[in-house]
Chains A and B, each alone.
Chain A
Amino acid sequence: MFNVIATISEVASTKATFGFSVIVQHALTGISVGGCYALIAIGYTLVYGILRLINFAHGDIFMVAGYFMIFSFAVMPFPLAIIVTLVATTVLGILIEKFAYSPLRNAPRMSVMISAIGVSYLLQNLATYLFTALPKAYPAIPGLKQVIKIGNISTSLVTILTPIITILLVMLLLWLVNKTKIGMAMRAVSRDYEAASLMGIKLNKTISFTFAIGSVLAAVGSILYFTDRMTVFPYSGSLPGLKCFVAAVFGGIGSIPGALVGGFFIGICETIIKAAGLSTFSDAFTFIVLIVMLLIRPTGLFGEKNIDKV
């Protein structure tokens, strides 16, 4: 491990002759990827906060949202296609919860987790079956790929737009969770499942709502992410999904600002590692972050202290 770190710093120092514009360029890319990660990480954090379940299928919901966009874009104008994608993804998220997780409410945690892995496996195989394993081209939403030049730096609109949209959505979500009635219900359920239902909070409705929010955000993230990458394939959700879970753990599971910070952190670090020419390690790095975080501060940056998870 130390060897690896030594080589990383070596490579980094040899490439230290980055121009200012190159650094800004990488920083922009990092922030943009980080924004997408943050949107997905919120889905993990909300679901884990309420069900104490790593929703392994969340990354695949994100992937399926990509396919929804491809197919709806082909038949309708893009504003409508975006709406259809968001709605379809939300319905998918709610259905998954209804069929795969809610029957297992009182089962051991391992069963629920296996069920989540099963859903992920099913979505991946279904996508391979329906759309083949070959990458499909993601439609270019008019205007989003437009190149913007500021001095030496050239970037596309989506790169700048992503962090802005992310932060706006997070603010909206924070308002929803902290100020509205359903948000209060979500907080109550995540604090104490049984007590909340005794107080007359409808458990299933709240959980469905949580999945709906997670899925909408995943769909928005998916549109922004795939506009930048330009292709979707059945496994394109699995690794980003795991990374975003790590982002959620990093920020403190259950905490929305935590997921935001975690998403940006993972996205930026990953871009730096790739820029340093170590792309083989960019995925491994995420998991190193996870393990280090679990050892040093298992509750994450903003996590609550008293959750029994480690």
Chain B
Amino acid sequence: MKNINFKSRMNIDLLIYLAIIVVSAVILVFLDMNKFEYNYSISIIEKSLVYAVVALSMNIVTGFTGLFSLGQAGFMALGAYTTAILTIPAAARPNVYYMNGILPALENAVVPIPIALILGGVVAAAFALIIGIPVLKLKSDYLAIATLGFSEIIRAVIASPMMDKITNGSYGLKSIPGFKSSLECFAFSLVCIILMILIINSSTGRDFKAVREDEIAARSVGINIFKTKQLSFIVSSFFTGVGGGLLAMFMRSIDSKTFQITLTYDILLIVVLGGIGSITGSIVGAFFVTAGKEILRFFDEPLVVAGVEIPLFKPGFRMVIFSILLMVVVLFFRKGLLGGKELSINGLKKFSRKKDEVSVGGVA
């Protein structure tokens, strides 16, 4: 126990993570090969992956920096629209913009998908930079409502008639190229998640946590509070934007109504259930909530047992269950399913062995 040093522990963890990735990839290849049979599972997995990216990016700003931002839907909209506008095949464009025509400059502006996703992230990050200057001076609930406000403003601008030639106004965009295979979705999400984990575990990530724990103490050790908050907000928005782009690719058609406040709440649900400030929590939470919503779909259909219709089962029941679950977690497991902790083999071992040694405190 004590003679296993820190580094070799990290290596063991790393190997295990690699193994998980390889196994998941193999499973996905298998599912892809039998696409018709597992179409439904594939779509659940893809959606979970996209939500994992967005939830983790929300966790960077909310969980690791302690800034309660509710602007997720707006940044996702920016990323999704940028990605969509840059990837819809040129041939399909007249069909998409059939009502108002398209801006001549955009007629043939098609870029490869990875570049479009990055650009989506960059647009979201650029907005975060501008928005952050006034908004990040606010504290807790004011920050929440101001970011929420910005997300609504972004949505209104996207849907406005003045943007018709770019965003197709209230008609939305369709014919967005989807994922060629679930492996593609997996690869994009994995890259995002790994980058975010590296950032969280870097010295920058430690700055974020320092600001979260105690602003005055952080300032006294030379951390520039405002710059750190800004950086966290920008990084988070970048990945939210990329996540939005992935969502656009997953849905293949988007409109401004996709990005309402409820979308932010859905992501918040994942972050809270998984545990605010837990990387693995967000990822597991994304799969748990997304798959849960699909699996519980039978709650929404009338259930007839022995000729008697059970009255509880009708549309909307599963969302009620999820809201109650959220309330239960908020009230009784205030730190979420995983709290600030991470799922890891060491953690599990330690958990079973009880606390008989000074905890190493994860990788960070």
A binding-site residues for B, Cβ under 8 Å: 3-4, 7, 52-54, 99-100, 103-104, 107, 109-111, 113-115, 117-122, 125-126, 128-130, 132-133, 238, 242, 245-246, 249, 280-281, 283-284, 286-288, 290-291, 294-295, 298, 308-310
Contacts and interface: CB of A to CB of B under 8 A. Distances in A.
B116 interface: no
Interface in B160-198: 160-162, 170
Given A115-B330, A284-B152, 4 more contacts: A118-B326, A126-B320, A129-B315, A291-B150
**Majority DSSP secondary structure for residues of A touching B:** helix
Contacts of B146: 287, 290-291, 294
A107 to B, nearest CB: 6
B225 interface: no
Count class of interface residues, chain B? 35 or more
B30 interface: no
A255 B36 CA distance: 61
Nearest to B319: A125
A2 to B, nearest CB: 13
Given A115-B331, A245-B145, A109 B140 contact: yes
Interface stretch (B117-125, B244-252, B265-273): B265-273
Interface of B: 62, 66, 68, 134-135, 137-142, 144-146, 148-150, 152-153, 155-157, 159-162, 170, 261, 265, 268-269, 272, 276, 314-317, 319-320, 322-324, 326-327, 330-331, 334
A109 B141 contact: yes
Of B62, B135, B137, B142, chain A has the most CB atoms within 10 Å of the CB of B142
Contacts of B66: 110
B315 A132 contact: yes
A111 B277 CA distance: 13
B145 to A, nearest CB: 6
A53 B152 contact: no
Given A121-B265, A128-B319, A129-B316, A280 B330 contact: no
Contact of B138 (A100, A110, A119, A294): A294
Given A129-B319, A287-B153, A310 B135 contact: no
A290 B145 contact: yes
Contact of B317 (A52, A110, A129, A294): A129
Given A283-B156, A284-B157, A104 B331 contact: yes
A310 B324 CA distance: 32
A178 to B, nearest CB: 27
B143 to A, nearest CB: 9
A164 B145 CA distance: 30
Given A294-B138, A295-B134, A280 B334 contact: no
15 contacts: A3-B162, A54-B141, A54-B144, A104-B330, A110-B62, A111-B334, A245-B145, A249-B145, A280-B156, A287-B146, A287-B150, A294-B138, A294-B142, A309-B139, A310-B142
B145 A119 contact: no
Nearest to A278: B160
A103 B159 CA distance: 41
Nearest to B137: A310
B156 A242 contact: no
A54 B153 contact: no
B324 A122 contact: yes
B335 to A, nearest CB: 9
Contacts of A111: 330, 334
A7 B330 contact: no
Contacts of B330: 100, 104, 111, 114-115, 118
Given A129-B320, A291-B135, A310-B138, A100 B160 contact: no
